[in-house]
Chain A
Amino acid sequence: MSDTTGVGRGGSSGRSTAGEPELSEAGNDPMASRQPSLVDRLLGRHVPGAPAMDRMLESKTDEGRQELAPRSRTSPQELRIESGRMLRLPEGVQLDSGDVDVETPEDESMILNLGPSHPSTHGVLRIMVEIDGETVLRSKPVVGYLHTGMEKTGEELMYHQGATNVTRMDYLSPFFNELGFCLSVEQLLGIEIPARAVWIRMLMCELNRISSHFLWLATNSADLGAINMLVYGWREREMVLAFFEKVTGLRMNHNYFRPGGVVADLPDGWRDDVLALCEAIPKRMDEYDDLLTGQPILQNRLQGVGPLDAEEAIGLGLTGPLLRSTGVAWDLRRDSPYLAYDKVDFDVIVGTCGDCWDRYAIRFNEIRESVRIIGQIADAMPAGDFRTQDKKVTPPPRSRIDESMEALIHHFKLYTEGFRVPPGEAYVPVEGPRGESGVYIVSDGTAKPYRLHMRSASFSNLQAMAPLARGALIADTIAIVSTIDPVLGDVDR
């Protein structure tokens, strides 16, 4: 395998290693011109002709380590974060490092990795914890294992292709990603979408909230030892996904919402399917209520574990069930209604003390609220177009292509060149199952976003890890991660 550039790459990395003039001369011998690779550096291997190893390490890792380090090598400010004291101290109060982790001398504690590959982390989340016996003193999530540069990819895709990129970010609630993207694009375009498209979007989003919460219910219960619920949760989720497959053709990563509406109308008989779900799910929720909520083991595992107060939640930018568990009734569906959420009736579920039990109860009851909303949507679904008739963003229907040359040209132009979006910026937040998610788009007037940024709820919510885990037991840490409910595809993007 010919290797031309080694590890050097373009871009404006602030510092590059000092140039070695002899490297370019030895161009035909790949070994001689090789810069030390990551593997070389990890193994401490010497590469002929390369600068000295210690200098390399120094110049390339100036960003610093991401892991949890022994306390003696950690700054007081970092200690403060890792031990979960994020909020600003009152004026005049200084935090000294000795105050952070009281009493336990460093040689009596131990740094332990939870993950990145551990069933309870629901993906590839690595949490480093410093423990004293079973008690967590400090913790730090290390993320990025699933980073695939989707924001950069998004800059290379045209607007009509963008939904297929963002839908893969939070893979458990794909419709919310697509919705955030489409609403932002539509705001930039300044177009209205037909009423039927609005209600179809609402229907799919609420069903998606149910499927996402069911998956959470399944995995959360499994983490806490209620293995039977794992099977039931997956089963119910699968019922919803079967409906998604019927509508969109795919169980996940649907690419169903497009700027201007949805890509296809609901299939015949959709209402019966939806009503069947609305009938089946509440009954089963009652069963799970009996199975889980009243169960003393589950109660003991969740009640009073990982408490959070409202001020902390707001300061940390936590949204969704995490915020509502602290008693803050904030739900974007109610507080800044998008789509047609102001036309449906539902309750915002809030907790009181912000512990794991509250977060459990909120998600549990949000499934019921979503069923309530879906029932209303099924009754109120308007007839009409499912996609805007603006020729600029909507391609002609497939059937027209066979009979009209203009339609063929139009279709071809739209799919090869895309549609141009006026310059500007937009960010439209939506209330996903995990909290506020939205897509910030900067347009420069071309057919591709100039910048696409996903504000993902999981990424912000993960900041709650350190404050929640402080003083908890290892087993409680599992319950805490589980009730934060991060989706790592959304965290790392």
Chain B
Amino acid sequence: MSGDGGGEASAPASAPAARPQETLHGCPVVDGPNTRVVHCNRDRYLDLCRALRADGYAMPIGVTGVDYLTHPGRVLPEGIRPERFEVVVELLDLAHRRRIRVRLQVPASDPVVASLFELWPGTEYHERETYDMFGIVFEGHPDLTRILMPEDWEGHPLRKDYDTGHVPVQFKEAPRGATI
């Protein structure tokens, strides 16, 4: 692994010496089938992404969110406290043909994370979509507006507590004879 610069804060102190957690730039990393998955909390997020950018992950594949409201028992590495939301960032290194996925825990009480726009401008639409669908605010995003839903829509549809199958939808109430 070429870019393993920050191994200083290796396994968290509380972890027993059973199996040391592999880290990348100080964040726990897990190997997946065709990608590596690095987990982090908000305090390390931007530093981690900067370091990954410097490692050669030049292409942003996508940013999306997951609302773990009704599936709390997921497996996370030691030292990562599960929160309701996760922001999932998919990155690609063309030169070394490798991928990495960043899974960032975002608490429901304060769903604000830093924007990656300055690192990868191609995250612009994806962050807008994640904001639109989950209500996660990307601080520093140049144009954080809804992208798929109408701009005066209320609520964030992909949250798990957002009703589905709710019949009176917003566009229903056009009065007869109204001309728009």
Which residues of A are in contact with B by a Cβ distance under 8 Å?
A: 3-7, 9-14, 16, 37-39, 41-43, 60-61, 63-66, 75, 77-78, 80-81, 86-88, 143-144, 147, 149, 151-152, 156, 187, 314-319, 328, 330, 335-336, 423, 425-429, 436, 440, 442, 444, 450-451, 453, 455, 459-460, 462-463, 492-493
Contact = CB atoms under 8 A, between A and B. Distances in A.
B122 interface: yes
Name the residue in B143, B153, B158 with the highest tally of chain A Cβ atoms < 10 Å from its Cβ.
B143
B119 A459 contact: no
A5 B124 contact: no
A84 to B, nearest CB: 10
Given A39-B173, A78-B142, A64 B151 contact: yes
B180 interface: yes
B55 interface: no
A10 B161 contact: yes
Of all A-B residue pairs in the complex, the 6 with the closest CB atoms, nearest first, are A317-B122, A77-B142, A11-B155, A11-B162, A86-B121, A10-B163
A330 B94 contact: yes
B157 A64 contact: no
Contact of B152 (A38, A187, A319, A455): A38
Nearest to B101: A427
Given A10-B163, A88-B119, A427-B90, A61 B152 contact: yes
Contacts of A436: 61
Given A77-B142, A88-B121, A13 B155 contact: yes
Contacts of B62: 317, 440, 453, 455, 460
B177 to A, nearest CB: 11
B51 interface: no
A81 B122 CA distance: 11
B99 to A, nearest CB: 8
B49 interface: no
B152 A81 contact: no
B107 to A, nearest CB: 14
B4 interface: no
Interface string B28-51: 000001110100000000000000
A317 B152 contact: no
B135 A81 contact: no
B155 A3 contact: no
A88 B142 CA distance: 13
Nearest to A74: B143
Contact of A37 (B101, B118, B153, B173): B173
A205 B134 CA distance: 33
B154 A7 contact: yes
Given A78-B143, A88-B121, A463-B125, A38 B171 contact: yes
A462 B122 CA distance: 10
Given A6-B168, A143-B148, A463 B173 contact: no
B16 interface: no
B80 interface: no
A63 B148 contact: no
A37 B168 contact: no
B142 to A, nearest CB: 3
Given A11-B162, A13-B156, A453-B64, A81 B143 contact: yes
B14 interface: no
A426 B161 contact: no
A12 B135 contact: yes
17 contacts: A11-B163, A12-B135, A16-B154, A37-B170, A38-B171, A38-B173, A39-B173, A65-B151, A66-B151, A144-B147, A144-B149, A147-B149, A151-B158, A316-B121, A317-B61, A425-B37, A440-B88
Given A3-B172, A16-B154, 20 more contacts: A3-B168, A7-B168, A10-B163, A11-B156, A11-B161, A13-B135, A63-B146, A64-B143, A81-B143, A147-B149, A314-B94, A315-B120, A318-B122, A319-B59, A427-B101, A429-B61, A444-B71, A450-B66, A460-B61, A460-B125
Nearest to A443: B71
A337 to B, nearest CB: 11
A317 B120 contact: yes
Given A11-B155, A462-B125, A43 B178 contact: yes
A335 B97 contact: yes
Contacts of A41: 152
A75 B61 contact: no
A75 B156 contact: no
A64 B147 CA distance: 11
Contact of B147 (A10, A143, A314): A143
Contacts of A3: 168, 172-173
